[in-house]
Amino acid sequence: MKKILLIIGSLFVLFFSSCTKELSDNFNTYTNHPLNDTTWIKNLTPSVSINDLFDLTTPGIIIDSFNLNNSGTLKYGDSLEISYDGGSFVTPGSQILPTDSARIEIMPLKTKGDFIKTFRPTTTANGSLLETGGGYFIRVTKNGKELAVATNRTVEIKFNDLDSSRPNMQAFYGKEGFPVPLKGIDTSYSWIRDFDTTYLETWAKQSNNPLVSSYYGYKLKTKNLRWVTADRYIDSTLPKTKVTAILSPNFTNKNTAVFAVFNNQKTVVNLKGDYPSRSFNTINIPLKSSIKLISLSKIGSDYYLGVKDISSVATVTSYTIVPVSKTLKEVITYLNSL
């Protein structure tokens, strides 16, 4: 088997709306520069620069090949194994079994920064918050055509959590837009729990890596490929509040995305652009949470990063973010540190 590690680098991020009322007077005019454009739009289009930002880089991707006829286990380091039976992969919409060699692409979602860079916030379609133990994007193709798992088969993914594994994690899958956007952000993306709500089996073992003493993780048997994670719901009885992020008018939903990143757990929430108020907000942040608000922007050929530390979310929750000019490498380095 030939294994190739492609580091394409990444960031993803999104947003919708905007409009008539400016919440900040901190507006500067720049000669012949796209920073002068303060117009928001109701629906993002493929041409807006925030899409360009997330198309520029993605987390490291493993590309490998395997034989579809035979059962086997693909091993990557000592913390990721993908096990399958021969004949487990079919052409979507049929039970036609391709044979011989297939290509597999694997992209890790291990850190909070990975979920930001791929624009995969840890939330469900109805806005429920999830704590994640990590996961992967997995795609299997034959002659350039994507394959699916056969209806009577499963694929087992054994992977580690960068933190200690938890006993009450469940399998969640990515619910993508239809059709899946060919470029930029999938604005309708969310996570959906597997019909099988059994808690995932956990495992632990000593590491061969001198920098890591032990690995702790999950075994996840999946009937679905593409986006797969180990997650759990955050306590829904906690009182929630709305959090609003305000930036200067130069930063619009066309060029900026904002996330709330929890400091004490792997939870990432997308603050959506609000067209009437020209701000970004979300409504489901538990009171007293310790979070960071992070803004990412691409305006012309320039990149901006804004960070607002909030030690304890209160009932009055409107916060100002001041983005700072950064190189793309500096933005990625920051996201990798989360």
Per-residue pLDDT tens for 61-88? Answer: 999 999 999 999 999 988 899 999 999 9
Report the percent of the chain where pLDDT is more than 70. Answer: 90
Question: Would you say residue 97 has pLDDT above 60?
Answer: yes
* Alpha-carbon span 277 to 291, nearest angstrom: 23
Tokens for 314?
A: 């209160």
**Spatial CA neighbour of 88 closest among 80, 97, 79:** 97
Q: What is the pTM of this model?
A: 0.87
Cα separation, 282 vs 123, whole angstroms:
11
The mean pLDDT value for 209-222 works out to 88
Left (φ > 0), alpha (ψ -120 to 50) or beta: where does 19 sit? left
Euclidean distance between CA atoms 241 and 260, whole angstroms: 13
Residue 265 has pLDDT above 90, yes or no: yes
Give the ranges where the chain is alpha helix by DSSP (H).
49-56, 112-117, 328-336
pLDDT at 28: 58
Backbone φ and ψ of 181, nearest 5°: -55, 135
User: Which strands, in side-by-side order, build the sheet including 80-84?
Assistant: 72-76, 80-84, 155-161, 214-222, 201-206
191-204: average pLDDT: 95
- 243 vs 255: CA distance, rounded Å: 20
Show the tokens assigned to 38. 């303060």
| CATH number for the segment(s) 61-233 | 2.60.220
Average pLDDT over residues 308-314: 94
232 vs 120: CA distance, rounded Å:
15
Q: Domain spans of the chain?
A: 15-50+237-336, 61-233
Residue 53, pLDDT > 90, answer no
Predicted confidence at residue 32, as pLDDT, reads: 58
Which letter, b or e, does each residue of 26-35 get, where b requires 16 or more Cβ atoms within 10 Å of its Cβ?
A: eeeeeeeeeb
Instruction: State mean pLDDT over 315-325.
Output: 90
Q: What is the mean pLDDT of residues 277-295?
A: 94
- Mean pLDDT in residue range 12-37: 47
Second-level CATH architecture of 15-50+237-336: Sandwich (2.60)
Asked, as a colleague might, if the bond just before 46 is cis with ω within 30 of 0, I would say no
Q: In this predicted model, what pLDDT tens digit does every residue of 100-151 receive, in sequence order?
A: 999 999 999 999 999 999 999 999 999 999 999 999 999 999 999 999 999 8
Is residue 207 very low, low, confident or very high in pLDDT (cuts 50, 70, 90)? confident
Look over the chain and give the mean of its residue pLDDT values, rounded to a whole number: 87
Statement: residue 186 has pLDDT above 90: no
Length of the chain: 338
The pLDDT of residue 264 is 92
- 245: which residues sit within 8 A by CB, 6+ positions away? 258, 271, 279, 280, 281, 293, 295, 308, 319, 320, 321
Amino acid in position 154: T
- Residue 60 confidence (pLDDT): 81
pLDDT value at 36 more than 60: yes
